[in-house]
Chain A
Amino acid sequence: MVGFSRIGRRLGRTAIQAVPTVLGIVILNFFLLKAAPGDAADAMAAEAGSATEETMKMLRHRFGLDNTLLVQLLDYLNNLAHFSLGYSPRYNMPVLQLIGQRLPGTLILMVVALVIAVVLGLFVGTLMAIFAGRLPDRVLSIVSLLFYSTPGFWVGLMLIVVFSVNLGWLPSGGSGTIGSDLTGLPALLDQARYMILPATSLALFYVSVYARLTRASMLEVKTQDFVRTARAKGLSPTAVTVRHVLRNALIPITTLAGMHMGSMLGGAVVVETVYSWPGLGRLAFEAVMARDFTVLLGILLLSSLLVIAANVVVDLLHAWLDPRIGARA
């Protein structure tokens, strides 16, 4: 099919473009790791309790830490090529495996938050655009600006005060009832209960971003000729708004949603520490507290790759949604 081959070509081009970025990130990551205080030999010595100068020298030699920086960089790249991000003595397991355990938790949280943000943002933004300049628009604008200015972790804490402490409706942390033997649907509902507060506090900031963007781009699309045509041929206002205006206003929103993957990961770091959600962010926090830089930089590298992957997906989505985008580039 023509569509598939076009998307395939686009995928190839995007992948080639991503190579220098990935390489740059990997090299930056290596130098940050070198800049971090202490190396693997120090960590081993600390675990053992004591070490002589000779033992340290031997350890460094065994890990290749006495080589020149360039050789060490090549070693690092070689390890990465074999999907090894190093070993964490504290957790007693390879970093990649450790991250692999925590990644799904963060991804679920981010996807749920993104869905909440896009759906709610589109809804609020559409309302604002319909009532542009009138009272509902002004009130919603101020409310969305308020959420735009609120740190996610503080929203999280306030939601805990209201919904867990005072009302007792929702749990204040964790990812599931400990020791419960629920299976199937009840288990899923149980997990969903634990998901509501973290996902909401992560999403609120983005709700306001998407609401403002939807409002702006809908007002822009509204003035175009095809909308007048749709109205002139007798379509109902709802049909015009949903089928013609909103649909065309969606493209900048998908762009932004893809760009937000990185900042949402950052938000997840803080929100996960609030709700002790077992994800990548919580792991990053633990790694910072333990000064475990191998784990911390592994997270940085993997989350950057995640952002690149998200950008590729958005690119492909665009090429599929709007054929002109693929043709122009």
Chain B
Amino acid sequence: MSARLAYPGGAPHVVVIGAGSTGAATAHDLALRGVQVTVVERGEVASGTTGRNHCLLHSGGRYCVKDEEAGIECIDENMILRRIMPDVLELNDGLFVAISDDDLAFKESFLEACEACHIPALDLSKERALELEPGLNPEVLGAVQVPDGVFEPFRFCLSFLASAQSNGAAVRTFTEVVDFEGDPGTVAGVRVRDRSSGRIETIGADIVVNAAGPWAERIAALAGIQVPVAPTPGVMVSVGRRLNNMVVNRLNKPADGDIVVPQRVSSIIGTTSWSVDDPDYIPIPQDHVEKMIKCGRELIPAIGEAPIRGVMAVARPLISKGGGDAREVSRTFECFDHASEGVEGFVTISGGKTTTARAMAEKVTDMVCEKLSVEAECRTRDVPLKSYRTFYTRGAA
């Protein structure tokens, strides 16, 4: 690469756009490899897609039948996250439950797919399923236990960012990218607006990583690049009563309202899927809310009597392959080096899901380090993360 070091004599400097799970994990990986990092985020940490996600630490069970690659990614990352962020995971496993004969007929292919993806799966009797999760529909015909879990998305990101900060990274929230810096065909930094002062400033960078999720298309367009991201929201409904200890999924191919994720004193039912053009503000279709309650009570009947506490919707950053049903689009991720489109110093990482954020970070950090000739191995599989609270602490207590 050309000698465009923004910090002559020091380590190379990388700007990461976005403080969702992907940007946070990428900042951590880069900082661990000795790269200087500045994260710029237009809002609060996790104020976009990551914050409003379903909180499901995937075992891979939801994908293994249709998408073996995504299933394997999930179980591998699930096991890594248990090692590096045990404080911010509720690890109570998950059940895939059969309510109808059609669900039960799906069990054989489900168990085979779990085995192919090396997802530990335990075939349970109806009695055992009800013993584990007494709130299940008493009509349950059988269930499979898998190592699903629950995270809290905001603290998930804070953990990665606190670790990145401890290795020298700067995290600038409420700092919005308005343009890129550099000669035509080159990205040499970002122009940002500080939302507190209104001031515009330039932050130089050897490479800029676009980790803006469903906003990645808008960011890339500033550099004259097109990235194929399809903002695909889903509605989730949180009820103000905790009804299950474990994650409860419908044993069938992914469909609307087929999962209830418990968290703290709530249970969260999800989800739906449709397409939008503008991910900034997504009005919630009321019929989706009603559908969540209807489908959710087929799994856990008490959902019908529980008070609705919160309703949220946000766009997933799925990689668009052109046309088709969003549920059929792969949930894996992709990394784009825009040098292939004639713009140096600019990469985009998109797709994926919070469970696989660390793997996404590893892939894009490998790409960035190769471009910068930084020879350092990825260590994020094994290095435990800092307490999420240290993202904010000043040590004055």
Please determine whether chains A and B interact with each other in the same assembly: no
